Structure 1
Amino acid sequence: MTKWMRVPHTLTLLFSMMVLAMIATWIVPQGFFETQTLANGRSAVVPGTFALVEERQYLSPWQLLTAIPRAFASAQDVIFFVMILGGVLSVARATGTVDALIGRLLERYNNKPQMLIFMVVFCFAMASSFIGTAGEYIPFVLILVALCKAMRLDAMTAVGMTVAGYGIGYGISAVNPFTLVIAQQIADIPILSGWELRAAIFLPFVLIGFHHVWRYAKQVLANPANSMVADLPCPLGNNAQTSYPALTWAHRLILASFVFTIGVVAYNIRVNGWYLYELGAAFIAWGLFVTLVGKVQADIAASKFIAGAMELTTTAILIGVARGISLLMEDGQILHSLVHGMSMPLSYVGAEVAAVGMLIIQTLLNFFIPSGSGQAYVTMPLMVPLADLLEIPRQVAVLAYQFGDGFSNMIIPTNAILMGIIGIAGIPYGHWFRFCLPLMFKLMLASSVVLVLAVIFDYGDDVQPQAAVALATQAS
């Protein structure tokens, strides 16, 4: 590969995107929608209120630089969670629990790596679909990297099955409270309605993700030189481990407490609104429990924790800089302008094309608004009346939002969870982009077919509000 074709370092790439974002604020018309405060305290845009600002404000290169520390402050919850998690997992590895687990899994799946890949993709997709898990997958990354290394696979395979499960689960969500429920509330359709179609397409989409990862894994098994990360050092070192400790009762207790911690975190995220601060505290508590049960001396545990956190400093930096891209868009008042400009052409095309157009718009906007719930509050108030005018059921508009938000989570560099996952695995963003882009094309094609068929067969017509039906009739 020549130097002109070589993908730059991830930090270089992200900073270049920040520069482009600053330049975009000089060119793109600046404007905003009026917002209204909803019953839950969140703000949503008011359709039909977009207006350009009277006087353009130009962001300076100095503001570009100050956006970086501000972005670190804005993303501090993710940054500190990743570093805490790295430290706690380093303590867990000192007990031998991770190595014992890998040895046990190798006994069962060493000759059936395809079963392991399918189980991870399927289970992670189920969890994301039902309870909206995302950051909770970060603790599994190094374990899966170590397992894949022992099975003669690579870190890309480990990240591939993790992120495929996460993204597909969000895209084909059954009851995700952070995306589906919010979007359906804004669309004024029954909560969790339309689950039959989402349930029917869940397994086919999971199989698309599994096939993509397994096809790559087979190439690596056939020839390690086919690995996309063959030129990179393994985050766990390059020494091959040939023997693993036995899985003792202490190890089993530590693993059981890990599953218990994940369960407590998932429950409280949904019921009590926990997020990354509480997640960090929960894993610190688990780390203290591991230290006691694993009989790790306090000074050794402290050293392991600091070493584990230090290993993820690069990841933390990338997460902070990634947040700066969307921060500049907000400072330059072009975020709403992009939403408005992208939605305008949909009013001139047919219903089937418009449904696919909604998918494309939601996918592109996820780059600028990587928060799933945040994207719902900005885009759904605009897409719902547009769907009514085009005689597209609101349920289809919600489905387009789910597809666009969920699948693009797997590839956009502004997604802090993704940057954390690939950073822990030691995979540069450029390498990941080349691996994930074909999968994105497959999922976008499949979801476009689903949306066209949904329009043809009036998916969600049974829950369409009567006021929307009357509006569409009047418009036509």
Structure 2
Amino acid sequence: MTEKIKIPHTLILLLAMMLVAYLATWIVPQGFFETITLDNGRQSVVPGTFQLSEEKTRLTPMDFFVAIPRAFAGAQDVIFFVFIIGGVLAIARSTGTIDALIGSLLERFGKKPHMLIFMVIFSFAMASGVIGAAGEYIPFILILVGLCRAMRLDAMTAVGMTVTGYGIGYGVSAFNPFTVMIAQSISNVPIYSGIELRLAIFVPFVVIGFHHVWSYAKTVLANPDASLTAHIPCPLKGTDKANYPKITLAHKLILLGLVVTIITAVWGISQHGWYLDELGALFILWGLFTVIVGRLNADEAAEQFIEGVKELANTAMLVGVARGIALILEDGQILHSLVYGMSFPLSYVGSEIAAVGMLVMQTLLNLFIPSGSGQAYVTIPLLAPVGDLVGVNRQVVVLAYQFGDGFSNMIIPTNAVLMGIIGMAGIPYHLWFRFCLPLLTKLMVAAAIVLVAAVLLDYGADVQPVLSINGK
């Protein structure tokens, strides 16, 4: 029966979502909150100031189509970073370094795939939780796809372990400067307070993610035809190797250069606020280093780089169009209306239900505001006073925001990093959705239990600011 149902291409699905968003701008009442400019230059909404727009903004069909190239411009940092990574990795592959690395990892983990899966999920979750790593995982995808393919697994397993670590790291982060620190500062609670609970739930949530990915991987090992991607061409063009090359001195130097590149990126992100522009520059330098150490001539390196970029044209399209959904909602002035409509009912329910409702609200809003910090500036100023009203401590409000933003990062098609990852692995979005939805459900249930327990245990009462409902 399922074979008879033709699933549209991921690009068509994203364009359909853009169309739904466009139609919503004609149906949903337009409104806005007043905003203020904070010391860091970011805009934050002012609670209690929502009002409907006196003059309606009607987007024309031309506005819809103009939003597409504007969306590409808005996502240019991710698009060009993906192009750079694809080109540089193609150069590295041409030197045999990637194949040699896969062969080395196979010797260590070939008979222990569960160890590899746990190690990747745990490590990526740690990196996301501490420094907010996300786009930095894109360079690893093709390496993990090749490794999984050699271990009789599939591309879905490679993406599963990567994105699971990324999402859980953001969801239960103890230190993430882009989510925890911002949300707590807006909530007027001490930065990094309440860390004990977040540290305590880190491993249990990682275990949930590992169990899901490993259960799928075991199924594929037992029956390769059960793979969700069995009918999808491998992005590595099926270049299976029975004998992988041994690592030479040149390979080791190239891999050392990659390690130095990543360490430098981590330092730049944490100390100087670097992001994709600077990371792209670092990988270009690594590419030049690889050309020299790998003794490639200039023409060969240029051809390999261009071929790597070509292979990721589809991914760039998906990343660009995904940005258009939120752009349409912003242009149609209904983004604040959606936030207000979701937050208003929470003031009329009990504290436990309100906490879980905040989780659901943050999850849904992440589809429209895929930026973690951007979501904090829009929602936390509204939900913190609501929490005061219904008896939900602001520390719990922050936790609900973290869960909703982090876990849904793994599945929302407006997340440019996610679309870049699955695009590089050659996985259509509908297949990823099928794999990820059960995992997201498990994580959401666990998150709801933690939130209810946090309310019952009065989590955050020691740092709850003494404020009136109006924040005075």
- TM-score exceeds 0.5: yes
Q: Residue 209 of structure 1 aligns with which residue?
A: 209
- Give SS of 2:41's match: coil
Q: CA deviation at 1:256?
A: 1.3
Q: Does 1:451 align with 2:448?
A: no
**How far apart, CA to CA, are the structure 1 residues paired with 2:208 and 2:462?**
30
Q: Residue 289 of structure 1 aligns with which residue?
A: 289
Q: Residue 176 of structure 1 aligns with which residue?
A: 176
Structure 1 residue identity aligned to 2:344: M
- Give SS of 2:36's match: strand
Q: Residue 305 of structure 1 aligns with which residue?
A: 305
Q: Does 1:100 align with 2:100?
A: yes
Structure 2 residue identity aligned to 1:36: I
**How far apart, CA to CA, are the structure 1 residues paired with 2:174 and 2:7?**
37
Which whole-Å deviations, capped at 9, do the CAs of 1:317-348 have from their partners, x for residues lacking one? 11000000000000000000000000011011
Q: CA deviation at 1:143?
A: 0.2
Q: Residue 119 of structure 1 aligns with which residue?
A: 119
Which whole-Å deviations, capped at 9, do the CAs of 1:283-338 have from their partners, x for residues lacking one? 00110011111111111110000000000000001100000000000000000000
Q: Residue 442 of structure 1 aligns with which residue?
A: 442
- Give SS of 2:158's match: helix
Structure 2 residue identity aligned to 1:234: C
Report matched runs for 1:320-359 at 5 Å: 320-359=320-359
Report matched runs for 1:52-91 at 5 Å: 52-91=52-91
Which whole-Å deviations, capped at 9, do the CAs of 1:136-186 have from their partners, x for residues lacking one? 000000000000000000000000000000000000001000000000000
Report matched runs for 1:129-168 at 5 Å: 129-168=129-168
Structure 2 residue identity aligned to 1:285: L
**How far apart, CA to CA, are the structure 2 residues paired with 1:38 and 1:160?**
38
Which whole-Å deviations, capped at 9, do the CAs of 1:347-387 have from their partners, x for residues lacking one? 11000000000000000000000000000000000011111
**How far apart, CA to CA, are the structure 2 residues paired with 1:51 and 1:249?**
66
Which whole-Å deviations, capped at 9, do the CAs of 1:408-427 have from their partners, x for residues lacking one? 00000000000000000000
- Give SS of 1:55's match: coil
Q: Residue 229 of structure 1 aligns with which residue?
A: 229
**How far apart, CA to CA, are the structure 2 residues paired with 1:4 and 1:373?**
42
**How far apart, CA to CA, are the structure 1 residues paired with 2:233 and 2:3?**
20
Q: CA deviation at 1:241?
A: 1.0
Report matched runs for 1:280-429 at 5 Å: 280-429=280-429
- Give SS of 1:107's match: helix
Structure 1 residue identity aligned to 2:133: T
Q: Residue 30 of structure 1 aligns with which residue?
A: 30
Q: Residue 464 of structure 2 aligns with which residue?
A: 464
**How far apart, CA to CA, are the structure 2 residues paired with 1:220 and 1:262?**
32
Q: Residue 268 of structure 2 aligns with which residue?
A: 268
Q: Residue 242 of structure 1 aligns with which residue?
A: 242
**How far apart, CA to CA, are the structure 1 residues paired with 2:139 and 2:263?**
13
Q: CA deviation at 1:8?
A: 1.1
Structure 1 residue identity aligned to 2:88: V
**How far apart, CA to CA, are the structure 2 residues paired with 1:458 and 1:300?**
63
- Give SS of 2:136's match: helix
**How far apart, CA to CA, are the structure 2 residues paired with 1:7 and 1:199?**
41
- Give SS of 1:6's match: coil
- Give SS of 1:368's match: coil
C-alpha RMSD of the superposition: 1.3
Structure 2 residue identity aligned to 1:18: M
Please list every run of 5 or more consecutive structure 1 residues that lacks an aligned counterpart in the other structure: none
Structure 2 residue identity aligned to 1:173: S
Bigger shift: residues 55-64 or 36-45: 55-64
**How far apart, CA to CA, are the structure 2 residues paired with 1:136 and 1:16?**
29
**How far apart, CA to CA, are the structure 1 residues paired with 2:75 and 2:17?**
17
Q: CA deviation at 1:251?
A: 1.0
Structure 2 residue identity aligned to 1:64: F
Q: CA deviation at 1:239?
A: 4.0
Which whole-Å deviations, capped at 9, do the CAs of 1:32-86 have from their partners, x for residues lacking one? 0000011111110000000111122211211111100010111111101100110
Which whole-Å deviations, capped at 9, do the CAs of 1:178-225 have from their partners, x for residues lacking one? 000000000010100011000000000000000000000000000100
Q: CA deviation at 1:267?
A: 1.4
Structure 2 residue identity aligned to 1:335: L
The percentage of aligned residue pairs carrying the same residue is: 68
**How far apart, CA to CA, are the structure 1 residues paired with 2:222 and 2:371?**
39
Q: CA deviation at 1:467?
A: 2.3
Q: CA deviation at 1:265?
A: 0.9
- Give SS of 2:367's match: helix
The total of aligned residue pairs comes to: 472
Q: Does 1:278 align with 2:257?
A: no
**How far apart, CA to CA, are the structure 2 residues paired with 1:184 and 1:127?**
20
Q: CA deviation at 1:257?
A: 1.2
**How far apart, CA to CA, are the structure 1 residues paired with 2:109 and 2:273?**
37
Q: CA deviation at 1:240?
A: 2.4
Structure 2 residue identity aligned to 1:94: S
Structure 1 residue identity aligned to 2:330: E
Q: If the length of structure 2 is used for normalisation, what is the TM-score?
A: 0.98
**How far apart, CA to CA, are the structure 1 residues paired with 2:193 and 2:319?**
35
**How far apart, CA to CA, are the structure 1 residues paired with 2:5 and 2:446?**
31
Structure 2 residue identity aligned to 1:376: A
Structure 2 residue identity aligned to 1:190: P
Q: CA deviation at 1:3?
A: 7.2
Bigger shift: residues 219-228 or 266-275: 266-275
Q: If the length of structure 1 is used for normalisation, what is the TM-score?
A: 0.98
Q: CA deviation at 1:2?
A: 5.2
Please list every run of 5 or more consecutive structure 2 residues that lacks an aligned counterpart in the other structure: none
